[in-house]
C-alpha cells in the first residue's frame, strides 16, 4: 500500500492508491495506493480512529469503473506482455512511462477495480457531489494501476501514480531487487470516503510531517484491516509485508489528473492518519 510519509504503511489510492495507497508499519509514508495504498504515520500501530461523522447519508453509487478502450495501438495485447513484443505503436505509447511490460487495455476490468464508496462531501460547495464521486473513482483506478505496477515489477510507473513520499521504502527495496508485490484489495480500496478542503490547519499538519503539499483537497478514507501485502523474490521465496492491523482512517491529499494512457487518476503526494502524534485537523477524524 502507499505510505503516509513519516511512518511507513502503504495505501494505494483511495485505493489507499490506502495508495497511494499499506506497507510495513515502521517509518511511515496514500496509497492508494491505497492507493490505498495506505498513508499512515507513526501512530498507526495504535488503534484506528473513528471515521469522520457523515454530513448526511449519500446515495450509494452503482457506477461501474470505466476501463480503457479495447481499440487503439495496444488492442491486440491480451495479457501483460514484454514491451519489445507488442506492436511498435503500442510500445511508443508506453515508452514515456518507463515500463518494460505493457498491460492489456482492459487490465483494470480484469482486476475488477470497484467503484468508490459513496463520498461524504465536506467541501461546503467548493466541489460538487458529482465531481467528488469522479475523483473518488479516479483514486480507485489509480490504486488498480498501482496494483498492476507492483505485481508486474514496474517501479517506473509508480512515479506517474503517486509522489515519492507515498511509496514505502519496503516496497521500493523489494522492487529494486526484482521482486514483485501482490496487493490484496483490502490494501487498496476503502470502504468509506469523505472529501475535505485542505485549509491552513491541514497544510500546517502536512508541513509538520515534512510533507508540504500544494494540493487543495484531501480524501479521508477508511480501510477495514487487518491487511498485508506479499513480496515474491526472484529466488522464489516470499515475505509478508504487514500493513493495516485493524480498521484505520487515513488521509490522501491529492489532485485529479486525466492521463492520456492511464485515464483519470487521483495523484497523491502526502498522507497521514488519525493517530498521528503531530495532530491532524480534528474534523478529519470526527472530533
226 with 99, same domain: the answer is no
Residue 49 pLDDT: 37
The mean pLDDT value of the chain amounts to 80
* Predicted TM-score of the model (pTM): 0.78
269 and 240 fall within a common domain: yes
Q: In this structure, what DSSP letter does residue 286 have?
A: T
Residues 186 and 250 in one domain: yes
pLDDT score of 70: 64
- Kindly state whether residues 84 and 142 are assigned to the same domain: no
Q: What number of CA atoms fall less than 13 Å from residue 82's CA on the CB side?
A: 2
As a whole number of angstroms, the distance between CA 52 and CA 50 comes to: 7
220 lies in a domain?
yes
In angstroms, the CA 136 to CA 265 distance is 9
Say if residue 214 is in the same domain as residue 134. yes
Residues 77 and 213 in one domain: no
Q: How far apart are CA 110 and CA 122, in angstroms?
A: 33
Are 275 and 243 in a shared domain? Answer: yes
Residue 170 located in a structural domain: yes
Q: Are residues 76 and 158 in the same domain?
A: no
Domain residues for 22?
1-56+118-287
- C-alpha cell, 2: 502507499
Give residue for cell 498521528.
Answer: 276
Same domain, residue pair 129 and 93: no
* pLDDT at residue number 32: 43
Q: Would you place residue 180 in the very low, low, confident or very high pLDDT band (cuts 50, 70, 90)? A: very high
pLDDT, tens digit (0-9, with 9 covering 90-100), for 113-161: 999 999 999 999 999 999 999 999 999 999 999 999 999 999 999 999 9
Considering the domain architecture, whether residues 101 and 33 belong to the same structural domain is answered as no
The percent of residues in the chain predicted with pLDDT above 70, rounded, is 75
Which stretch of DSSP H or E encloses residue 149?
helix 129-151
Overall domain count for the chain = 2
Q: What is the pLDDT of residues 73-101, one digit of tens each?
A: 999 999 999 999 999 999 999 999 999 99
Residues 189 and 80 grouped into a single domain: no
Does residue 110 lie in a domain region?
no
Predicted confidence (pLDDT) at residue 20 exceeds the cutoff of 90: no
Give me the pLDDT at residue 241, please: 85
What pLDDT is stored for residue 90 in this prediction? Answer: 98
pLDDT of 186 > 50? The answer is: yes
CA angle 153, 156, 160 (to 5 degrees): 120
Predicted local confidence at residue 286, as pLDDT: 85
Amino acid at each position: 500500500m502507499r505510505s503516509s510519509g513519516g511512518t511507513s504503511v502503504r495505501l494505494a489510492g483511495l485505493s489507499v492508491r490506502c495508495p497511494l495507497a499499506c506497507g510495513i508499519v515502521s517509518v511511515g509514508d496514500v496509497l492508494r495506493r491505497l492507493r490505498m495504498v495506505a498513508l499512515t504515520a507513526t501512530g498507526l500501530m495504535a488503534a484506528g480512529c473513528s471515521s469522520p461523522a457523515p454530513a448526511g447519508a449519500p446515495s450509494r453509487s452503482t457506477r461501474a469503473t470505466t476501463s480503457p478502450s479495447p481499440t487503439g495501438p495496444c488492442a491486440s495485447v491480451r495479457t501483460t506482455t514484454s514491451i519489445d513484443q507488442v506492436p511498435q505503436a503500442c510500445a511508443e505509447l508506453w515508452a514515456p512511462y518507463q515500463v518494460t511490460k505493457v498491460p492489456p487495455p482492459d487490465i483494470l476490468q480484469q482486476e475488477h477495480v470497484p467503484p468508490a464508496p459513496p463520498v461524504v462531501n465536506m467541501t461546503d460547495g467548493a466541489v460538487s457531489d458529482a465531481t467528488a464521486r469522479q475523483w473518488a473513482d479516479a483514486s480507485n483506478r489509480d490504486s488498480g494501476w498501482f496494483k498492476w505496477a507492483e505485481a508486474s515489477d514496474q517501479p517506473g510507473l509508480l512515479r506517474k501514480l503517486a509522489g515519492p513520499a507515498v511509496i514505502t521504502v519496503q516496497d521500493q527495496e523489494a522492487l529494486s531487487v526484482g521482486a514483485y508485490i501482490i496487493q490484496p484489495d483490502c490494501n487498496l480500496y476503502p470502504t468509506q470516503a469523505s472529501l475535505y478542503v485542505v485549509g491552513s490547519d491541514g497544510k500546517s499538519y502536512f508541513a509538520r510531517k515534512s510533507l508540504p503539499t500544494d494540493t487543495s483537497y484531501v480524501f479521508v478514507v477508511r480501510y477495514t484491516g487487518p491487511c498485508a501485502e506479499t513480496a515474491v523474490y526472484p529466488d522464489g521465496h516470499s515475505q509478508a509485508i504487514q500493513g493495516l492491523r485493524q480498521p484505520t482512517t487515513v488521509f490522501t491529499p491529492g489532485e485529479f489528473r486525466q492521463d492520456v494512457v492511464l485515464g483519470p487518476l487521483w495523484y497523491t503526494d502526502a498522507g497521514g492518519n488519525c493517530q498521528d502524534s503531530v495532530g491532524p485537523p480534528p474534523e478529519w477524524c470526527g472530533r
